[in-house]
Amino acid sequence: MKKHIMNTYGRFDVIFEKGKGTKVYDVDGKEYLDFVSGVAVNCLGHSHPAVAKTLAAQGEKLIHVSNLYWNTEQMALAEKLVSHSDHHQVFFCNSGTEAVETGLKLARKYGKLKGGNAKNQIIYMNNSFHGRSMGALAVTGQEKYQKDFMPLMTGLKNVEFNNIEKLKEVMDENTCAVILEPIQGEGGIVAAQAAYLKEVRTLCTQYDALLIFDEVQCGIGRLGSLFAYQSFGVIPDVICMAKGLGGGFPIGAVLATENAASAFVPGDHGCTFGGNPLACAVSLTVLDELLNNGIIDEVNEKSLYTIGKLAALQEKYDVVQGVQGLGLLLGLKVKGEPKAIINKCFEKGLLLVGAGENVIRIVPPLNVSKEEIDTAVKVLEEAMLEVQG
């Protein structure tokens, strides 16, 4: 059966069939502690009862009607996102890549309206990752993802992340947008400096360019605030989100200020499945659990606890080079390639994934317990000892 799936992923040799909370089980019944969370997607873990209940109830009520019509769940979700942000309008889609594509199109249209055809330059960051479609790939600052798909979209400039002087060198009146991740995920869990983001915001305002935050991985509670920008004190014009927004059900969204969103008019953009009642109902349930049951409020405490445990490993083992990231989007930097350690953890029933060249990414569900954090760190330590010999 595996031969019928396109060869686009280097998968672990396991077939999963069920999950509950932070645990997932393969077809042989082996239990794994999941600190990958579907790559920062399963913010409430697996098969959360509230999500399962919503899926069943909404599935019997209304699943899809298209965007030719309004639906109550889409409007309610838009209102929820707007009410908890500094933004005014939402576009719904199905994934992070689609959200980034929407942001790029919005920026190009905004630039044309503000400065004519010449105002089309989009600046992106070195070491970034924004998706695998041709537009999102074009603003992904890692050649390994781009090289086999050239030529890509033009009118782009790549600059060093966290270096405001490099941005000042290339930014001018023809810049329509700057896109960045507040924390670079695939690039190695590298956080932006708050002072840097503030200066980027100033430059975007100065040149009337949109500041686009890709919060696909770092948003929806993962940093201890609903939106990542709220943890840095810098308001972007556009936020691209997905992953945790649906807690495991596919949904993406772009949240924009009224000034930015006004560039779009009917016919400029669309998405057949975007904002369907089923996805929006699930997202509303996820947000309700995160916001009203104290889950987001506990993220920073759990983060400090996890960082303390990981820092203790650094004190004991030379292979550990440091802990980076914020909230429950953390990275353990190690000497050399982390694949052997990750594979050994997998054998021991702990799911982890890499980021960048030498970082082990740690992204448990946001409702993870301290006991489960203890277990994960214990397994990680055992794996490091066995790999190091």
Convert the pLDDT of each residue in 55-105 to its tens digit: 999 999 999 999 999 999 999 999 999 999 999 999 999 999 999 999 999
pLDDT of residue 264: 98
pLDDT band at 336 (very low <50, low <70, confident <90, very high): confident
Same domain? For 134 and 60 the reply is yes
CATH number for position 37: 3.90.1150.10
Same domain? For 58 and 35 the reply is no
Whose CA is closest to 270, among 64, 67, 63?
67
Same domain? For 276 and 334 the reply is no
Q: For the residues 19-28, what does the mean pLDDT come to?
A: 98
pLDDT digits (tens, 9 = 90+) for 91-148: 999 999 999 999 999 999 999 999 999 999 999 999 999 999 999 999 999 999 999 9
Domain boundary among 256, 273, 292: 292
Pairing status of strand 359-362 against strand 353-355: antiparallel
Same domain? For 196 and 317 the reply is no
Same domain? For 253 and 275 the reply is yes
CATH number for position 135: 3.40.640.10
**Residue 3 scores a pLDDT above 90:** no
Domain boundary among 244, 262, 292: 292
What range does the domain containing 218 cover?
Answer: 51-292
- Residue 59 corresponds to which amino acid? G
237 within 8 A of 197, measured Cβ to Cβ: no
Same domain? For 11 and 90 the reply is no
Give the lowest-confidence range in 216-230, 235-249, 375-389: 375-389
Q: Is 201 flagged in the annotation as binding?
A: no
Same domain? For 19 and 81 the reply is no
Q: Is 129 flagged in the annotation as binding?
A: yes
Strand order in the sheet with 121-125: 89-93, 252-256, 238-241, 210-214, 175-180, 121-125, 156-159
For tokens 């695998």, name the residue. Answer: 132
Q: Is 325 flagged in the annotation as binding?
A: no
Q: Is 96 flagged in the annotation as binding?
A: yes
355 within 8 A of 248, measured Cβ to Cβ: no
What does the alpha-carbon distance between residue 117 and residue 343 come to, in Å, rounded to a whole number?
A: 50
Report helix angle 299-316 to 370-388, nearest 10.
20
**Residue 385 scores a pLDDT above 80:** yes
**Residue 389 scores a pLDDT above 70:** no
Whose CA is closest to 90, among 253, 285, 247?
253
pLDDT digits (tens, 9 = 90+) for 169-218: 999 999 999 999 999 999 999 999 999 999 999 999 999 999 999 999 99
Same domain? For 23 and 154 the reply is no
Same domain? For 328 and 232 the reply is no
The number of folded domains in the chain is: 2
Domain boundary among 292, 309, 332: 292
Distances (CA, A) of 58 to 135, 251, 273, 288: 34, 15, 15, 16
Q: For the residues 316-330, what does the mean pLDDT come to?
A: 95
Same domain? For 68 and 176 the reply is yes
Q: Is 273 flagged in the annotation as binding?
A: no
Same domain? For 56 and 43 the reply is no
**Residue 388 scores a pLDDT above 90:** no
Average pLDDT for the chain: 97
Same domain? For 244 and 355 the reply is no
Q: Is 217 flagged in the annotation as binding?
A: yes
Whose CA is closest to 18, among 59, 53, 47, 57?
47
